[in-house]
Structure formats: C-alpha cells, structure tokens
Amino acid sequence: MASDPQRGQRGASGSSSASDQSGSEERKPQPDEAHSAFTPPLGVPYPPLPEDEHPTSEFALPSGLRPETPAEQEGSAFTRPSSTTGQTPMPAGSTALSYAFTPPHGIPAVRLTKEAPWQDRMRTMLRMPVGERPVPERLERADDETGPAVPRVLDLTLRIGEILLAGGEGAEDVEAAMFGVAHAYGLERVEPTVTFTLLSISYQPSLVDDPVTASRTVRRRGVDYNRLSAVFRLVDEIASEGITLEEAYRGLAEIRRNRHPYPSWALTVASGLLSGAASMLVGGTMLVFVAAAVGSMLGDRLAWLASARGLPEFYQFVVAAMPPAAVGVAFGLAHLNVQASAVITGGLFALIPGRALVAGVHDGLTGYYITAAARLLEVGYLIVGIVVGVLSVLYIGLQLNPGLRRLNPEQSLGDYNEPLVQTVAAMLLALAFCVLLQQERHTVAFATLNGGVAWVVYGALTFAEINPVPATAIAAGLVGLFGQLLSRYRYASALPYVTAAIGPLLPGSATYFGLLNFAQGHLPQGLTSLVQAVSLALAIAVGVNLGAEVARLFLRAPGIEEAGARRAAKRTRGF
C-alpha cells in the first residue's frame, strides 16, 4: 500500500510527542485516569478515519427505506378532520356532516345548533344513549372566574320541572326542560328522572368524582297553562339567551306570584258554556243548551265547595257529575219535550279527563311506563267517580219512573247532521276549554280554530261512512300536528294548542250510553258502549301523539341541520 505523507508526518509527530510525554512522565508520574483505554500504544499508527466524519446512530433509517409519514395531530371529536386515513376526503364545500375520529368509520356527529328550538335539541340528547351524547369542550376560565354553584343549579332545575309536571306536561318534555336548564349552566353530565310524583336529578363532574343528587316531590297539581307557557319562555331564555342564575330565579319567582288570568266565576261560566255546546253537538235545542249549562255550573260550584273542604278529587268528580244527571232526569220525569239525554251528555263532556288521558298515553308511547301507568290509573279513578255520580242519579230516576223514554238513547239521540251548527258548537266548546285550562289570551284563537278543524275533519270522515275510531284518530292527529307546529315556531308548549282542541272529539255520548244501559240492567249493551268510549279515548291520545311525532320527523324548524337533527332510541324488539 502507498504511504500517506500526511499520515507519516502525523505518526512522526505522534512519536515525538510520545517521547516528550515519556520524558515528562519520568520526571512527574501521572495518575491512571490520564491513560485512555482507547488510545493506541506507542509505535502503533492511528486507524484510518471514516469517510463520513459524522457517525450515524444505530436508530437511523437504513438506506433504501422511506421515512414514515408524521402522525396527524389529534383533534376534537366535534370538528371535521382534513383527512382520515383509509377514507375518501370530504368535498371542500361540504358542511352538512361532521365526522369524529372514533369510531373510525365516521358516524355523523350530532350538532346541536343554537338556532334550533331547545325542545328539539334537548329531546335529541335524551333519546341518545348516554355514551353517545356529545359533551361540549370546556372553556378555559381564569383563576378568579367561577361558575354557578352546582346545588343552586340543581335546585332551579327541579323547581322548573315541578311546575311543568304539576301543570300536566309529559314526562319527556319535563326531562328535556330539566336537561336544557342544567346543560345551559355548564352541567353536561346530568341525568334527570321524572315519575308521576317524584323528580330527581344527578350530576357527576367526572368519572372519579362523587355524584351530586337532588330530588323534589310534586304534591299538588293544578291546571294553569298560562303559568306553563311562562315557564317554557323562561327555559328558552336560559337555554338560548344565557341569562344568569339570579335572573332565572327572579323570573321563576314572578311566575309563581302571577295570578290566574281568569277568575273563578269565569271558570264556572265556561263550564256551563262547554256543556251547552256539547249538548248542541248531539242535537240539543236552545232549551237543552240552557239546561245543560245550568246543571254543569251547579256541579262546578259543588266541586269547588268539596275542594275547599279538603275532599279528595275522586269525590269532587262524584259531586260534579250529579247535577247534570239530575237535571236530565228531572226533565224526563216531567214529561217535557226536551232531550234529557243530551243534557246528561253535555255534562259528561265537561268532566271527562281528556288532558290526563292524552298525557298518560303520550308517556307510554315515549317509554315512560311508570309515569304512564300512574296517569292512566288516575284517569281510571276519575272516570269511576263520574260513573258513580251519574249512575246514582239514573238509578234513582229509573226507580221513580221505570218507563223514562226521554232517557232512551236510541230514541232521544238520533242521527243528527247539521254541519254549520255543529261546527259552531265545536268551536264554542274549544273556547270554553281554553278558559277552563287558564290559557293565555293569544293562544285562545288558535286553539278554537284547531278544534273547529278537528270537528270538520271528523264529520267529513263519518259522513263518508268511515268507522268513528279511525276517524277520531285522524282528526286528533291533525290537532297534534298543528299544535306541534305552533309550539315549535313559538318556542312554547304544545298543550295549550292541543288539549282544548280535542274537546269536541271526547266520547261523551258513548260514555252516557254505557252508563244508562248499566242502570237499566242491560250489561252487554253497556259493556259495548263503554268499550267504544275507551277506544275513542285511546284513538284521541294516539292520534295526538302521532301527529306531534310526524311534525318532529318531517317538518324541520329553521336552523336545524339535516344530519343528526333527531335520533330516536334504538330498536329493542321488547327485550
């Protein structure tokens, strides 16, 4: 091999330096640490230098291999990623869907926009499984900034739910309102629970923290849709406008202090108007109208007296059902040319608990079976009270005169068909129901018109020889559809637009026929009539609920996204 002159010079210099060092070592010994184990001994040349002066690490990428693609930064589950591994990129202008990283196949994430009604947003959250509910990302707060106290938020939520449940609102809507209030004040991980008389809510800050649970019992129930609408406006302000907790408490206190929009004497007059209009639906004359109104007003005053004495509601219904039946029996005993059966039928219209029936069936259809069973049991007790009151009077009248022909339903209530008179009577009946329910004045016109439309549809279907049960269901479905549309665009409850409008469809005649047949000892005929009355009542409740669900399913309010706007519960097949 050819020798490198530089290397030789370097070796010579190395030898000379080594000799100098050895001479110095003889003069002054050095410690062992001065000698390196990697230093070549004297007389041995240095090894050749590597071609690359920068040695590589053993973890360096070998030649011929491409470097790996850097991992994407982990993003939020509520924002759309720019690209997803193994998926086709979304179009640049696509804004309808947002995809989450988990699961990897890209299930559309629910977007709860502020423009949508709070009822739809909160009902969407309730109908989703707990593990799939989107939790908004928390904003970073300053050290001196604190949110509202959790116990106060839970207390406000329970008080709002108490007013809604006591006013007759469905269990799902009560839970949606409670969820909306808690969610608006930053309590995302909450679980409201509503039964017939008990409300509870549980909040758990995280998986490692202890939950905070509060409950409240509903002991008194009252019909006041004016207060119900005010509570819905308050919830809308909390969920959409973000008012403070103090402002929400002041608004709730004002709602509790507000008096009923109609005095007690107006309620008594409305009860008489309702019975008189119902008697005209089945062919009553003006004299029948006045007689039914007088009997119903007497029953209403007796019920108020029983309520003031602290009697349970069952006995109040027994007392309220007696005067209309007594007036009808008196006309029959006097042998006057008056349709006594129409007088009794009109009194029954004012007593049938249609509001509680619709709420009970609605709770059952939406999966709140305990609350539904309790509501339907309450309806059963109230109907038994009506039956006891009417049957007692009819039995006494038949004992005094067994041949009361004016009470015979086949002869007294024939096929009455006066479309104009019946439509006006149906609208008067709905108007009277609005006053009895203490509705706001601006909702009375809509509910009255809705009741007239329901009766026109029912009359047209029965004139076309369609069975009364499906005809009633279709008419009630339109009532529920229109009521849900009005409530969605007004951000209010649907009850003021629905409950009064179903008044003309209540099965007053079928109920009276069944009771009269029982009093006369005709059990098969009585059972047939009562089964028909129950079928009509269930058709009303199912139709109202179906109309509301159709409105939520196909008709979207402004601002709701096309994807993920509403999700129902998973199909269980009864398991």
For strands 198-203 and 212-217, give the pairing.
antiparallel
* Residue whose structure tokens are 């067994």: 402
Q: Is 456 exposed, middle or buried (0-12, 13-18, 19+ CB in 10 A)?
A: middle
Q: Is 330 exposed, middle or buried (0-12, 13-18, 19+ CB in 10 A)?
A: middle
Residue 561 has pLDDT above 70, yes or no: no
User: What confidence tier does 36 reach under pLDDT thresholds 50, 70, 90?
Assistant: low
What is the average per-residue pLDDT within 39-47?
A: 68
Q: Which of 454-458, 493-497, 562-566 has the lowest mean pLDDT?
A: 562-566
> In this predicted model, what pLDDT tens digit does every residue of 106-147 receive, in sequence order?
444 444 444 556 566 666 666 655 555 555 444 444 444 455
Helix axes 508-519, 340-349, angle to 10 degrees: 120
What is the average per-residue pLDDT within 10-38?
A: 49
The mean predicted confidence, pLDDT, of the chain is 75
Residue pair 262/438 in contact (Cβ under 8 Å)? The answer is yes
Q: Mention every residue, 6+ apart, whose C-beta is less than 8 A from residue 331.
A: 291, 338, 340, 343, 406
Which of the two residues, 329 and 100, has the higher pLDDT score? 329
pTM equals 0.68
Which of the two residues, 569 and 514, has the higher pLDDT score? 514
Phi, psi at 202, each rounded to 5°:
-125, 135
The greatest distance separating any two alpha carbons of the chain, rounded to the nearest whole angstrom, comes to 153
Measured distance CA(277)–CA(275) in Å, rounded: 5
pLDDT for the residue 14: 45
> In this predicted model, what pLDDT tens digit does every residue of 165-176 receive, in sequence order?
988 888 888 988
pLDDT for the residue 96: 41
pLDDT for the residue 318: 92
294 C-beta neighbours (distance < 10 Å), count: 17
> In this predicted model, what pLDDT tens digit does every residue of 387-433 receive, in sequence order?
889 888 888 887 887 666 556 655 444 456 778 888 999 999 999 99
Residue pair 553/106 in contact (Cβ under 8 Å)? The answer is no
pLDDT for the residue 179: 86
